[in-house]
Each structure stands twice: as C-alpha cells, then as structure tokens.
Amino acid sequence: MNVRPAEPRDADAVLALMEGLTRPEVADDAEPQRRVFLAHLEHEDALVFVAELDGEIAGAVSLWIQPRLNWTSPQGWIPDLYVGPAFRRRGAGRALLDACVDEARRRGCHVLVLESGHHRAEAHRLYEAYGFAHYARAYALRLKEGLTK
C-alpha cells in the first residue's frame, strides 16, 4: 500500500472514485471537474491523498485545514474519502486516514472531523474502529436547482 499526495495525472481516477460517494458522475466533458480537482491541489489549505494498491489508485481522500471561531488552532476536515469496492478491507481506508491524521497534527489541528452519508455503514464501521465518534448532525440546503446529487 502506497499513500501519496495526489498529482494532476490522478484527476480522472479520483473523479471516477468520487462517483461512489453519490457525487455527480464524471461529465462527458470532464474538464470543469478536472479544474476543480487541480484547484484543490493548488490550494494551500487543501490536500488530496491517493492510495495505490497493485499499481492502481484504490482510494482517495481530501483534507481541508480550516480556522474555527474561538479556537486558536485550526480543525482538519475530511469531506471526501472513498475506496473502490475491489480494494476494500485491504488497508487503503485506514492508510488514507493515517495520512490525514499525520497532516492535521503537523498543521497543529485541534480536531479532525469527517463527513459521511447515512448509507455508508461499512465506512462508518471503519471510522468508529479508527477512533472517530459520531457527535453531531449535518444539514444541507441546495442552492442550485437541477442538481440530483
């Protein structure tokens, strides 16, 4: 298992993985989605890691470092983590979490939080076994019409 920072060449593989999170499918013209990926790579407070297994990208995670009011240290936030079904239960998810924990600690974060959809029971078992606690509710307000995901 090799976990490394994502590179521009990983865009298509990572975008395809994110479909598994019930995100928008990769469009016929994927260039706008690739630009979003590349913007993540260039942002100083965003990191994307990929896990490689058997020469393929098995999973990916994004980590954001965010300031929070009343805290003197930032929080780490994981909005996206997905491991392809063929690679599950082989350590990729845990290795991606390890990379995020290491980076969040390096950046002085006081906490690391992540988002996960209600339907992702297998992922929830991993997160809880890792030490994450279910502690809050999240709400979303759609701001654009016509988006199904």
Domains of the chain: 2-130 (3.40.630.30)
What is the overall mean pLDDT for the chain? 93
Q: Which residue has the higher pLDDT, 146 or 71?
A: 71
Q: What is the DSSP letter of 139?
A: -
> Beta partners for 48?
62
Q: Distance (Å, rounded) from C-alpha 25 to C-alpha 83?
A: 16
Query: Under 8 Å CB-to-CB from 82, ≥6 apart: which residues?
Result: 17, 18, 20, 21, 59, 60, 61
Q: Is the pTM of this model over 0.75?
A: yes
User: Residue 138: is its pLDDT beyond 90?
Assistant: no
Residue 2 CB coordination number (10 Å):
11
User: Residue 120: is its pLDDT beyond 70?
Assistant: yes
User: Residue 117: is its pLDDT beyond 90?
Assistant: no
Question: H helices of 19-79, where?
Answer: 31-42
pLDDT score of 130: 96
Q: Distance (Å, rounded) from C-alpha 117 to C-alpha 29?
A: 27
Extract the runs of DSSP E, i.e. beta strands, from 24-129. Answer: 46-53, 56-66, 75-83, 111-114
Query: Under 8 Å CB-to-CB from 26, ≥6 apart: which residues?
Result: 12, 15, 16, 19, 33
User: Residue 69: is its pLDDT beyond 80?
Assistant: yes
Phi, psi of 120 (to 5 degrees): -95, 60
